[in-house]
Structure 1
């Protein structure tokens, strides 16, 4: 009996678009066809699947599944029975209301199709003007309401050159995964021209290189079993061939995956049209266990060069392509350009001798939250890793380490698994408005880079000054010579940072180090300058939680300044940690310094006339719109936080206010004696 990891249910042939490459040859109908599975029939199918195992992931697709008004019912029904339910959609109908209803029903996520980065080309593929913008709006809705989504990109001759751009796009829109599908000429796509085997090989190689370059994004080639062969040639220990490999290797059609047509027929995959039976005539699991084509796929006798190839288990070729071109399921995959070398057959996920491996309860609990179709692979990979480290126990920390290496922060989870807590920095109003003005498909990329840079630089918020610097960073450059030692220290510090963070942080560190060199009247940046910046500006001061909470609760207009000033004072005093008491002391000292400045202007009352007096005394405040704006923000904030009788500054404690007033009331003749 083969485990069913993945089940695709084509709920309908109806579609709101008219895609030129649709394998289902979907129809743009407003009403369901007579043979379409009913709500009750789909629910009974889900019951049957869950009755054997809840480890199966179910994809509800079409046509366009969002056209079915019972979609949320079906999602909820499957989820309540413990199944992982995802939606395959063109995204056009993913309004905020629909995203919220799907999420409430328990949907695990959505796969959204994009055919080109050019809206015109995408719309041509989809047969509908304006579909590009609506699809991106659907992604925005998913991201806003935290419904995970992945991008689906089908490669053809017309869009193959956009592969690398699509990877950048997927990162920028905040998707969890990029699935790259390779067209099999069936359905409406039968008349479309394939890419050549050479182009196919090049594309797969680029995908593997892109995955190595972007470990934060899962990038997968679908309907392309040769992907594992190329990955193995590149690195036999590749996670693609081992940690990500299904135990049977190659394509899982008919072995761990099948699909249901809108009328209830069961096929190995959408591209192998042979119907193995109908769920209306016999139990689904009976078909799954005994279908002749499935038996052939589970115990293949490959012909042609596939049967002579050392990668016949790890890869096995696509069985749908020879079926489509010559009606022989087991024949040579016509897209493969590899020539067998006569070597020993390579086995995926080969077991390695190891002692007994134990799992902590916490690690076992985490493993249950991994979808079933990945669980066995994750378990084997974790135990192999522990054995290689000469340890005997898989802990929660081991799983965290492996998942961060393999999946970034996007490790797949079962429905209702506790989401990983995302830590986002505060954005000032101006910075947030700048972000909102950014094209939506770039917005998440800008947010991620800005927050990564801010975190690296120890900032508490993202403000407009940081965004301005990031936008104009290419204008910066070194002005001084750098010693080899300083250069090595800088590169060592940046080595663990993400490339996009290094792009922006490096110029800032260079500028700061050069200022440090100039401070000692040097014309060359030495290691001592770079070390000083690392020690004083990027490290060495930690915050107690209550102190940091106080800063985070301060007004936006001075939040960043408070944090920066506090850290400066802490370094000057040699403090390793800032407590709430330290923060109060720094604040009081700063306020008393400001009061003495007011006395220097001849003032003896604590009121807002100080700004008008200061404008006459301080040249840089004259005709300064930014200063006017900042003063207006301060005044507005203070007026909203006045004391109970409308007097004083409610933002400060009474004792400090009394000290400030007493200082202002001192006779001016005595101020130089204090």
Structure 2
């Protein structure tokens, strides 16, 4: 995840003082353990088009019991995991969710809740606020008509928007999550305006990744120029907020080319600060799947992140998470933890590899079968990434051909 606002606040400070601020102690130290996104339940009241979990409104057999969840939490705490993001399906459909959240808070985890928001009424909003979640993220994939089409349920937009309002009124830190595709790109800027109008704390811009229904619908992914235009607008909005001292957070996920693109955006406007920002982005290090971000699904299977549900590393019922996570006998985990990663093609030659770390790897694996192939979702040109002129004239790359086949080009 790229924390755009963090870097642009540093830029605003540099513009005001003439000096780029030193990283905080927290920023300069590596996380003690991975952030764990935990799909506690697969059941969901919606069947969204881009759901990586392919959830539906029925029970799924074999899910971890409360006692099993508690045992895993003990291991996560001992392994120094700092953050638990409780997700689904729709996590609010799990009867013992608040028992789990309460124990997590008492153990000292930062606890987030990832919800579609449609089940949150005033009474449930009271309970969420009383629970003390550190953050609640709610998905809005467009305005009313667009969102309801994505979520495949009439009225979903109004209920999700109502949930944001209910939580905000109770002092809960809330975020709006948006996944851009060619089908909802037209609502991106209106959603930015809605965020500010509703005084939402955070805007999370997610690129479509090729997993679950997102993989099925990858032919409808926004084209690269549309992506770049959206990011330009997002960076402009985040810069405006940083310059004006607004308490707004803008982040992106699922495409770590956003880091190099932010560097280019800043270099074109504030050239003298490009190198300090480059150093900060290299310290960030780009994609952290298999390193600083982990996923546990509803059945206890561990994955490098939520977009790798088709690839299991082991199950917490058989081995502790801490052992699974550090086991590099698995070739994918060995490669993900390697620095630099064993990427191929244009990724291997990219001048920004130290910043993006080869990106998510899911797109390459889904489209070519090779997790180390060049990333077909990278929207930076050959010239921008410093590819030699003769390489740019070479025969068409396999990933480019595949993109044409699924409608990207």
Do the two structures share a fold, i.e. TM-score over 0.5?
Answer: yes
Query: Is the 2:289–2:360 contact (alpha carbons within 8 Å) kept by the matching residues of 1?
Result: no
Secondary structure of 2:102's counterpart equals helix
* Aligned residue among 370, 373, 381 for 1:338: 381
Whether 1:8 and 2:33 are equivalent positions in the alignment is no
Instruction: Output the CA distance in 2 between the equivalents of 1:309 and 1:239.
Output: 17
Report the CA distance between 1:103 and its aligned residue. 2.8
Aligned with 2:152 (options 108, 121, 127):
127
Larger radius of gyration: 1
Q: 2: CA distance between counterparts of 1:2 and 1:66?
A: 28
2:283 counterpart (237, 247, 266): 247
Query: How do 1:157-236 residues align onto structure 2 when only pairs under 5 Å count?
Result: 157-192=182-217, 193-215=220-242, 216=246, 217-235=248-266
Does structure 1 conserve the Cα–Cα contact (< 8 Å) formed by 2:363 and 2:375? yes
1:277 maps to which of 314, 336, 341: 314
| 8 Å CA contact 2:129, 2:167 repeated in 1 | no
Q: 8 Å contact 1:231–1:240 — kept in the other structure?
A: no
Q: Distance in 2 between matches of 1:17 and 1:103?
A: 24
**Structure 1 Cα separation of the partners of residues 122 and 283 of structure 2:** 39
What are the superposed Cα offsets for residues 609-662 of structure 1, whole Å, 9 maximum, x if unpaired? xxxxxxxxxxxxxxxxxxxxxxxxxxxxxxxxxxxxxxxxxxxxxxxxxxxxxx
Q: Would the alpha carbon gap of residues 246 and 278 (structure 1) be closer, same or farther in structure 2, given more than 3 Å must change? A: farther
TM-score by length of 1: 0.48
Structure 1 distance, partners of 2:347, 2:85, is 30
1:420-435 maps to which residues of 2 (within 5 A)? none
Alignment RMSD: 2.1
Deviations 1:552-578 (A, max 9, x none): xxxxxxxxxxxxxxxxxxxxxxxxxxx
User: Does residue 68 of structure 1 match 2:68?
Assistant: no
Note if contact 1:228-1:240 (Cα within 8 Å) is conserved in structure 2: no
* Aligned position for 1:358: none
Q: Secondary structure, in 3 states, of the residue corresponding to 2:45?
A: coil
Q: CA deviation at 1:28?
A: 1.1
- Determine the C-alpha separation between the residues in 1 that align with 2:214 and 2:69: 28
CA drift of 1:243 comes to 9.1
Map residues 83-122 of structure 1 onto 2, 5 A cutoff: 83-117=109-143, 119-122=144-147
Counterparts of 1:164 and 1:2 in 2: how far apart (Å)? 33
> 2:108 aligned to 68, 82, 105, which one?
82
| SS in structure 2 of the partner of residue 247 of structure 1 | helix
Distance 1:88 1:233, change over 3 A: same
Q: CA deviation at 1:50?
A: 1.3
Residue of structure 2 aligned with 1:51, choices 55, 62, 78: 78
Unaligned stretches of 5+ in structure 2? 1-29, 268-272, 389-409
Q: Which portions of structure 1, spanning 4 or more consecutive aligned residues, are displaced by more than 3 angstroms? A: 236-248
Separation of aligned partners in 2, 1:68 and 1:95:
16
The SS at the match of 2:314 is coil
Cα deviations by residue, 1:141-160 (Å, 9 ceiling, x for unpaired):
10111111100001010111
Q: Compared with structure 1, are the counterparts of its residues 175 and 5 closer, same or farther at alpha carbon in structure 2 (3 Å cutoff)?
A: farther
Question: 1:235, CA displacement in angstroms?
Answer: 2.5
CA gap 1:341/1:17 in 2 versus in 1, 3 angstroms: same
**Per residue, is there more helix in 1 or in 2?**
1
- What does residue range 645-664 of structure 1 map to in structure 2 within 5 Å? none
Tell me the secondary structure at the aligned position of residue 17 of structure 1: coil
Provide, for residues 284-342 of structure 1, a one-character-per-residue CA deviation record: whole Å limited to 9, x for no partner.
Answer: 00011114222211211110000001100101223111011112111111122321326
Answer whether contact 2:205 2:253 (CA < 8 A) is retained. Answer: yes
Match of 2:66 among 39, 58, 79: 39
Q: Which residue of 2 aligns with 1:480?
A: none
Whether 1:309 aligns to 2:337 is: no
Return the offset for 1:245. 4.4
Q: CA offset at residue 199 of structure 1?
A: 2.3
Q: Which has the higher contact order (CA 8 A, sep 6+)?
A: 2
Contact 2:34 2:294 survives alignment (8 Å): no
1:298 aligns with 2:337: yes
Which residues of 2 match residues 252-651 of structure 1 at below 5 A? 252-272=288-308, 273-291=310-328, 292=330, 293-299=332-338, 300-315=341-356, 316-336=358-378, 337-339=380-382, 340-341=385-386
Any idea what the Cα deviations from partners look like across 1:188-241, whole Å, max 9, x if unmatched? 222321112232233223222221122222111111201110111122646995
Deviates more, 1:167-176 or 1:94-103: 94-103
1:314/1:141 CA distance change after superposition, 3 Å: same
Residues 257 and 40 of structure 1: CA distance in aligned 2, closer, same or farther (over 3 Å): same
